[in-house]
Structures are given as structure tokens and as C-alpha cells.
Structure 1
Amino acid sequence: MITNVSLVSVWVSDLEESLTFYTDVLGFTKGDDVQLGDDFRWLTVVHPSQPELHLHLTTPGPPLSEDLQAAVRTSQAAGGMPGVGLNVDDCRATYADLVAKGVEFIQPPEERPYGVEALMRDNSGNWLVLVEPREYSPDDFDPADFIDG
């Protein structure tokens, strides 16, 4: 029986720069850091309030094919890689704190039926969603908001 999620991989451009971003800017702590051979480093970060969930920071490389490695790098450069959702206790205050630290935001804090949400990029172009959650029900959503054109 599956009991929980323990690891999520995040594609990054540079392991050291990403480790600094996730620890010094976002407040994660360094988890595992193991050099496995000459060309692979197993590096994770964890949030202090959720140490059982590791974010695996990894660069595109073997065993991915060269074509897939190139596709990941192209998506990273375009800022099109999905990342993770992060709950916050005050989205507007967290936004202000991260802007002061130089973090790039795609969307400032906005009211949503499920809470206040802001969308940012990490230093590798991954989208990270900040959400100050609140109680909601399906009736809180207007289907017209999700229909194109």
C-alpha cells in the first residue's frame, strides 16, 4: 500500500545555484547530497515543516536520451517547466519578501476561490505556485472562467 509521496524531481540548470536558491531564498534545508560516479550527483532539499518530502534537484543528463535532454533544456530556457505548489500562510507578505530577494514573478497575488495565489519562477525557469489556501467548494468556481473564447 502506498503511504505517501516522498520525492518529487525538479529539473534545474545548475545544481549549486539551485541549491542556493531553494535554501537561501525559499527557506528549504539541504537534504541528501551524494556524488554517484563522475557525472551524477543526488541532491535533495526539504522544507523544515515537511522533512519527509524531498525535492530532488537534478540536471538533464543520462539516462535520458540526448534528444530528451535537449528538450528539457529548451523548456527550461523558455521558462516552461512546471514545478511545485507551495502553501504559504500569507501570500502577499511572502510575495513582497521574495520580490525583495529578486525573485521573478509571473503573476502577483490574486484572489482565487481556493485562496490567494501568486506564480513565480525559480532560478531555472520552473513555475512555482504560492497558495494561501482557504476552504472552498466546487460551487465557488464559475465554469465560464475556464471556457476559451
Structure 2
Amino acid sequence: MRHLALITLVVPDYDEAIAHYTGALGFTLREDTPLGPPEPPGKRWVVVAPDPDAATGFLLARAATPRQRERVGDPTGGRVAFFLHTDDFAADVDRLTAAGVTFVRPPRTEPYGTVAVFTDRYGNLFDLIQPARPAGGATG
């Protein structure tokens, strides 16, 4: 079996990004390992995931060049970049809203489920989706 393990997300600062993803978004910090000398602050291997058992996580990579800094918050040219599935849409919307997360498109029902678009602190767009149940109410 194959699956995507990590997706690189360029951020301006490791600690700020860790605080945002684990605090406001409720992700789990899986790893934070220094990769070079501590002074000056160097590269780190920082992995966060939406759930401790999630197959895919984000590798938070600090922008180190002007070109990388330009990509912070806009990896897809303004399109939704990430699709976060939930099994309790209303509770997640309430929790994210209470944490100060901005929803840029309100909840709506689509054939594939209930969805709303939110932005992280850097401008990356996420779809929060509770997938529709298959006909007959069975869960996958």
C-alpha cells in the first residue's frame, strides 16, 4: 500500500507555526528535531498532523530564501490547498471559530458532504469537510 506521508508547508517561523497548528487548529505535534547547529537557529524537522493516527501530516519548513518567503500562505495561487475531513463538522466549526480561525466561505451542503473554507494564520486555504454518508446511512 502507498500513501502520502508528508506535505511540505512553508512557514515564516517554526515556533509560531507549531503554536498555530497545535493551538488554533488542534493538530498534534509529531516531531520537532533540530537538523543543524543550534546557534544561529537552524533547520528543524517539524511534523504536525490533524490527528495522532492520521496517515498524512505537514512538514513545517521555515522559509529561508526570498522565493520561499513568497510562497508562505499561497502554495496553490489562491485555490484551496488542503482538505481536512471531520466526523463532527459543527463541533469543529465552533472550536475553530472560538480559536480565532477565519472562515472565508460559510458552511454549505454539497453532494459530497458539508463543507466550509477557512484560512490558517498564513493565508493557506482549507476545506473542512464532513463527507456525506453513503445511501442507507452506512458508514465507511
1:54 to 52, 57, 63: 57
TM-score, normalization by structure 2: 0.77
Q: Do 2:46 and 2:59's aligned partners in 1 also have CA atoms closer than 8 Å?
A: yes
Q: Do 1:119 and 1:130's aligned partners in 2 also have CA atoms closer than 8 Å?
A: yes
What are the ranges of 5 or more consecutive residues in structure 1 without an aligned counterpart? 137-149
Q: Do 1:81 and 1:125's aligned partners in 2 also have CA atoms closer than 8 Å?
A: no
Partner Cα separation in structure 1 for residue 69 and residue 94 of structure 2: 35
Where in structure 1 do 4 or more consecutive aligned residues deviate above 6 Å? none
For residue 110 of structure 1, what is the aligned residue in structure 2? 108
Q: Which amino acid aligns with 1:118?
A: A
For residue 68 of structure 2, what is the aligned residue in structure 1? 69
TM-score, normalization by structure 1: 0.73
Q: CA deviation at 1:17?
A: 1.6
How many residues get paired?
Answer: 129
What are the ranges of 5 or more consecutive residues in structure 2 without an aligned counterpart? 135-140
Partner Cα separation in structure 1 for residue 73 and residue 104 of structure 2: 19
Indicate the SS of the match to 2:116. Answer: strand
RMSD, aligned α-carbons: 2.6
Q: Which one has the bigger helix percentage?
A: 1
> Which has the larger Rg?
1
Q: Quick one: structure 1 residues 81 and 95, their matched pair in 2 at CA, closer, same or farther if it must change by over 3 Å?
A: same
For residue 34 of structure 2, what is the aligned residue in structure 1? 35
